[in-house]
Chains A and B, each alone.
Chain A
Amino acid sequence: MGIGVVIVAKKKVIFSFPPSLVEEPITYVLIKNYDLQVNILRATVRPRDRGRMVVELKGKKENLNKAFEYLEGAGIQVDALVQEMRHRPELCVSCTACVPMCPTGALSVNRETRELEFDHNKCIICEACIPSCSYRALESQF
């Protein structure tokens, strides 16, 4: 029987790193030095541009905090995953065409009002919904 890791914290965040740090093995360090589970949900790295990564981190709370300190020291910006994907209710007509495109259930229909609901906590910014919206009511800032 192994000793199970007590997971006390889980966080979904965005790493933004400058071109100079694109070759830094960040995930390796997070796993090896801070004993974190790293689930990469999305990543973009373009030549000469900043890299961005959406990750879900799981691990002991103190390790998570230490990891954030390491990232900050290394020059990597860590942001909470909010408002990266925007649903604009003033443009949305609640046609619900986006709902079956969403793999995580972040987009759903309210059973009573039949209006579209967006839960940004469930969104992984995969952007699969964007082409299905004919009213430009879904936009990504990623």
Chain B
Amino acid sequence: MINRYFREISVATALLCVLVLMAIFAPHFYEGQPLLSRLTAAAPRLLVAGGMTLILLTRQIDISVGSVFALCGVVGGSLLAANWPMGCVVPLVLLLGGLAGAVNGALVAGLGLPSIVVTLATMVTLREALRLAQQGVFVNLPERVQWFGLSMNAGQAWVCGLVGVVWVLLALVLRCGAAGRFLYAVGSDAEAARLAGLRPRVTTFWTFVVLGGLTGLAAVFQLVQAPQVDPAMGRQLELEAIAAAVVGGVAISGGRGSLWGVLAGFLLLTCIGPALTYLGVKPYWDKAIQGAVVLLAVTADGWRRCRPRIESGRRKTG
């Protein structure tokens, strides 16, 4: 049990240590309003990290999520600015994200191209197209959009609550859904899954679509938080998402990891920055320490893997 969930447990322990340290040395960290604001600001990225987990489980990667996030934000924001109703824009943005995912998925699953190359290309293409179209101009949002037209506190509670619901749903599907099993099977051994009558390519395609949709949803939750949309939003989002997944115990080689581990990893990486501020350390160290955490996590993995394992009964050749 401990061995199987080693990673989840160790990351959760690390998170707990940070939280306890903060409780002792900087109890202000837990003041209600700032805490809620910090969580709300991080919530959209958590959704992307969840989608990234699914993709990594199938042994693929998607580094175009930052560009898709920006595309969805700008398109959604422009529609809202043109006075489209919220109830119409949200499904459209989800669809747009899913469509971007479908392009990636079709190229990766359909043509069998390596996902890192395909999504690198879509990342750059989308980002540059957006820059040309928007010329760096921010999209001004109507007032009714901010916090869904509610008070800030209520709006923040809604964002956190909805992201939480989506997250729980995602975790349930992954653990108890028939489709979740396919992700693990395909990511562990696509050929074995194919031999068992599964369709690895179909699974891979739909996982890209789901990640795209989740990215679109994340963009919506980002939109409601500010009066303007920055067309350069979501830069390095892919790196944050991958880092959270890796720290949370998702294997880059696919087939291993859980959303609960990723949640712990995400929170750990997210609270390092504020924690430093509260402890009086210069916040410039934030990124460096995040990097160190990722390095530590993968080194621990490598070390565990390198320990000699007993291999019994190798196949006879002759």
Our verdict on whether A and B bind, yes or no, reads: no
Residues of A at the B interface (CB closer than 8 Å) are none
Residues on B facing A (Cβ under 8 Å): none
